[in-house]
Structure 1
C-alpha cells in the first residue's frame, strides 16, 4: 500500500538512503555513465548515426578462454545488486516473491512475456530504424563477439542478466520503495521510466525515448499484474532476438544497419 512502511518500521530516511545506494551500485551508475557517453558522442565530429554503440564486445581479442572468463565475470557481477535487493526485501518476510520474481506462475509469466515482447519488439525495431535514419541515434551493434563456440550461449546469458537486473530493480524494487516513501503512482511511473531511458542514453536520443516509452508500458503492466516475472521474460526475449539475430543477420540483409 502506498506510504506504508515495512514491518520492521524502517524510517523513510533509511528507505531513501537504501534506494539511492542500490541505484548507485547498479542502474543509477549506468545512467550517469550513459550520460557521459552521450555527451562524448554529440561533441564528437560527425553525426550520431556515423558512430556505433556496441552492447556485447570482446574483452580479450584473440584469447577466447580469457575472453569467456571476462564475459562470465561481467554477467555474474552485474547480478550482485539483484542479490542485494533480495536480501533487503527479506526484511519484509517475502523476498523477491513480493514483487513477483519467483516460479509460482512460470507458464503464465512466459506467455504474457512472449505477447509483450512480440508487440514491443516490432514497434521498437521500426522506431530504431527511423530515428537512426533521422540522425538521432548511434548505430547499435548488439554483439561483436568472436566466432567461437560460446558466442551464442554468452549472448543468451547476457540477455537474461539484463532483463533480471533491469526489471527487478527499476520496476519491482524501485516502485515498491517509492510507494513506501509516499510517492504518487504517476510520479513513481515517471521516475522509473525516465531512469530506464537514461541508462540507454549512450545509444542516442532514440535509445532514451524508446526505452522511456517501454518503461511506461512495463510499469503499467506491473501495476496490473503485480509481477515482474512477465516483464523479465519479455525483456529477455527481446534481447535474445536482438543479440542472436544481429549475430546471424549482420552483413547479410540490407535493412539492418552496421558500422
Structure 2
C-alpha cells in the first residue's frame, strides 16, 4: 500500500470513529448552541442538565443508566482495537496501563487541581457575563444507586474522552505525519466542540483543558493520568456539588 493510500485509509478510519462517538456529539453541540443563540432567550437565562433520570421507576432508570454507560464505552473498545492492529498492546501504546500507578495518581490529581479551580472560576465569569448556560450537574432521582452511577458516569466520560480524543486521535494524526502543534490544537478543539451546548465559556475552558492534556500526552505518551484527572473533575462536578451550600450553588448558577 502506498503512503498516500495509507494516509487516506487512516483518515477514513478517524472519521468513522469520531462519527460514532465524540465527533457526532460535537456536531449536535454546534447545532444546539446555534439554536440557543437564535431562540431569543439570553444564554444566561437558559439551562442544561447532565445525568438526567430516564424513568420514574427506580430499577428501570438504573437499567437505562447502566446501558447508556456501557454502550458509550463501545467507541473506546473500537479505538483500542484499531490501535492494536499491528499486534502491539493498545493500552501500553497510549499509556493506559498500570505500569506506574502512584505516579499516575499523583499527576492525575495535580492536573485535576490545575484545571478544576480555574475552570470553576471561568464558569462563574461566564455566567456573570452571560456566555454560559446554567448547568445542573446531576439530575438523577434520589435512589440507593445514584452515587455509584454518577461515579461510573464520571469514569465513562474520562475513558471515552481521553482514549478517543487524546490517545487514539493523536496517535492516528501522528501516523499521518501531522505536525505536533496541529495535532495538539485539533485534539483541543474537538474537546471544546462537544461542550458547546453549555455555552461559549465551557467551550473555551475545555479547549484550554484540551491543550494541557494533549501537550501532556505528546510529551509523556500516557493517558492514565488524564483519565484519573478527568474522573476526579467529573466526580466533583456530579457528586461533590451537592455538598456545596444552597446559597453558594445559587450564586454560581448551579441548581
Normalised by the length of structure 1, the TM-score is 0.93
| Unmatched 5+ stretches in structure 1 | none
- Counterpart of 1:78 in structure 2 is 72
How far, CA to CA, are the matches of 1:139 and 1:28 in structure 2?
Answer: 24
How far, CA to CA, are the matches of 1:96 and 1:23 in structure 2?
Answer: 19
Size of the aligned set, in residue pairs, is 251
- Counterpart of 1:45 in structure 2 is 40
How far, CA to CA, are the matches of 1:232 and 1:138 in structure 2?
Answer: 26
- Counterpart of 1:153 in structure 2 is 148
Contact in 2 for aligned 1:250/1:256 (Cα 8 Å): no
Alignment of 1:44-193 (within 5 A): 44-60=39-55, 62-92=56-86, 93-193=88-188
Alignment of 1:238-249 (within 5 A): 238-249=233-244
Give 1:252 shift. Answer: 5.0
Give 1:107 shift. Answer: 1.5
Give 1:95 shift. Answer: 1.6
Give 1:227 shift. Answer: 0.2
Q: Which moved more, 1:240-249 or 1:161-170?
A: 240-249
C-alpha offsets along residues 39-78 of structure 1, whole Å, 9 cap, x if unaligned? 1211223211111111111111x21111100100110000
Which of 171, 188, 194 matches 2:189? 194
Which of 221, 226, 251 matches 1:255? 251
| Unmatched 5+ stretches in structure 2 | none
How far, CA to CA, are the matches of 1:184 and 1:146 in structure 2?
Answer: 47
The alignment's C-alpha RMSD in Å is 1.6
- Counterpart of 2:224 in structure 1 is 229
How far, CA to CA, are the matches of 1:141 and 1:28 in structure 2?
Answer: 24
Structure 1 segments of 4 or more deviating over 6 A? none
- Pair 1:105–1:42, CA change in 2 (3 A): same
